[in-house]
Amino acid sequence: MTVLVPQEQDFPRWYQDVVATAQVAENGPVRGTMVIRPWGYAIWERLEAAIDERIKAAGARNAYFPLLIPEAFMRREAEHVEGFSPELAVVTHGGGKELEEPAVVRPTSETIVNSSFARWISSYRDLPLLINQWANVVRWELRPRIFLRSSEFLWQEGHTAHATREDAHGYALRILEEVYADAMVQELAIPVFRGRKTEREKFAGAELSWSCEGVMRDGKALQMGTSHELGQNFARAFGIRFSDRDGQLRHVWQTSWGTSTRLLGAMIMVHGDDHGLRVPPRLAPTQVVVVVARAGEGVLEAATTAVAELERVGVRVELDDRVEVSAGRRIIDHELRGVPVRVELGPRDLAAGQAIVARRVRTEKEPHPLRSLAEQISRMLVDDQQELLAEATALRDERTRSARSIDEARELAADGLARLPWRVCGSDGEHRLAQAGVSVRCLVREDGKPVDDPDADGVDALVARAY
């Protein structure tokens, strides 16, 4: 029994339904905005903490910049203004009056961060300056979809300034690998391609953009994080200069990088199945739910003991003793929410000194002796995190195929990623693909190293339909 439309039948509908019925999020009253409900938000909190830890390990410090940006700031960098103008939300009235200068609600904070950097940086001793911000941003969306394209979303955005182009380049790639790819693989259990964006796809105002791309269950790609080399574009626009060791005044070299609540969409679309979400154990707010299936002598006590023992070994556990609701109904809810492990306990199990253990990554249920339950489940959680990653890797590999021509790539993109030599594709091919709703997600090298020269041997375009 399931309450969801099967993925095979209608993936977008399945996505919408699972987000709603698992109580992850819902639409807000202003078009394109969303309410992130407690279950969804608790997953986000854990993901945020995991990313934040990696960002700090990479030497960046958190700060906070204003939500409202003078409209003139957005206009200072030509490509940036062009990229964002159609998406801006504009505040024209404040404190009961029309404002002399309208303010935009930040779509990203390059301009306002750099107006501070211009004051903070004067010497090479101030570099590198590595700053990160956790914040909400607003980009008006015409075709909104929760987590994937919402008019407001939560994200982190890093902004850094360096003395040399090489240092900025190295840092942009370090974030891509050590922060984003690592968190996506280790925490979200999602393997990602790391690659370079084409000129067409790069960030407005960047010289070069890098991204992590995931493959969803429907074969579409999702950009999960980006890291940009901004060159000296913003440094010139905002006058960010430093006196170098030789006493010369020079413009800084910059990066910016971001990832967002979109990652929740990735988690849903990579791991979710026809029964609901499957939350990776490392991110699950509740890793184990102990269900009192039916009331009976000693059952609640045994369940409470199991909960205490699981807590003792560091497992995040929840007791479900709502026996007034049918066990079947409650089990469906826990499956929908994607709680990694469910322990069912009733009078008959207790008499046999065992409990039924259901692991969300698999389908089977198995009895386990109550005595050693906590230790066993503790190990299962580690294994199941790996199992999800293995499944997602198999999915990605199965859906990623080689193409030798633009037409073949377009066809393969109907339900997966096509790997097409960039020399075969090129900007013209990219343009043709775009007309069919297919894009070059990023450029990768066969040996996995970053693409220095797109036109070199062995550079492939990853071609796909994308969210």
CB of residue 49 to its own copies, shortest distance in Å: 10
DSSP state of 106: P
Q: Interacting stretch for its own copies, rule CB under 8 A, among 81-89, 160-168, 230-238, 368-376?
A: 81-89
65 binds its own copies (CB under 8 A): yes
CB of residue 182 to its own copies, shortest distance in Å: 22
Q: Which is nearer to its own copies, 87 or 391 (CB)?
A: 87
- Alpha-carbon distance of 399 to 192, in angstroms, equals 13
394 binds its own copies (CB under 8 A): no
Task: Please pick, from the candidates 89, 185, 323, 436, the single residue that binds its own copies as defined by CB under 8 A.
Answer: 89
90 binds its own copies (CB under 8 A): yes
- Alpha-carbon distance of 38 to 24, in angstroms, equals 7
Q: Which is nearer to its own copies, 53 or 407 (CB)?
A: 53
Task: Please pick, from the candidates 42, 58, 313, 356, the single residue that binds its own copies as defined by CB under 8 A.
Answer: 42
Near its own copies in 126-145, by CB under 8 A: 131, 135-136, 138, 140-142
| C-alpha triplet 171, 172, 175: angle, nearest 5° | 80
Give strand pairing partners of 131: 61, 159
Q: Which is nearer to its own copies, 66 or 369 (CB)?
A: 66
- Alpha-carbon distance of 68 to 95, in angstroms, equals 14
CB of residue 304 to its own copies, shortest distance in Å: 18
CA distances from 251 to 2, 123, 171 (A): 59, 11, 17
Task: Please pick, from the candidates 43, 47, 55, 112, the single residue that binds its own copies as defined by CB under 8 A.
Answer: 112
Q: Interacting stretch for its own copies, rule CB under 8 A, among 79-87, 161-169, 289-297, 310-318?
A: 79-87
- For residue 459, the tally of other CB atoms under 10 A from its CB is 20
Hunting for tokens 């990832």 — which residue is that?
A: 259
Number of residues that bind its own copies (CB under 8 A): 54
88 binds its own copies (CB under 8 A): yes
222 binds its own copies (CB under 8 A): no
For residue 453, give both structure tokens: 């020269």
CB of residue 177 to its own copies, shortest distance in Å: 24
CB of residue 133 to its own copies, shortest distance in Å: 9
CB of residue 354 to its own copies, shortest distance in Å: 30
| C-alpha triplet 144, 148, 152: angle, nearest 5° | 65
Q: What is the DSSP string of 412-460?
A: HTTSSEEEEEHHHHHHHHHHHHHHTT-EEEEEEETT----S-TTSTTEE
CB of residue 230 to its own copies, shortest distance in Å: 20
Sheet strands (E) in 276-435: 288-292, 317-320, 341-345, 354-359, 365-369, 400-402, 417-421
- For residue 44, the tally of other CB atoms under 10 A from its CB is 22
Binding site for its own copies (CB under 8 A): 26, 28-30, 33-38, 41-42, 44-45, 61-70, 73, 85-96, 102-103, 105, 112, 115-116, 119, 131, 135-136, 138, 140-142, 151-152, 154
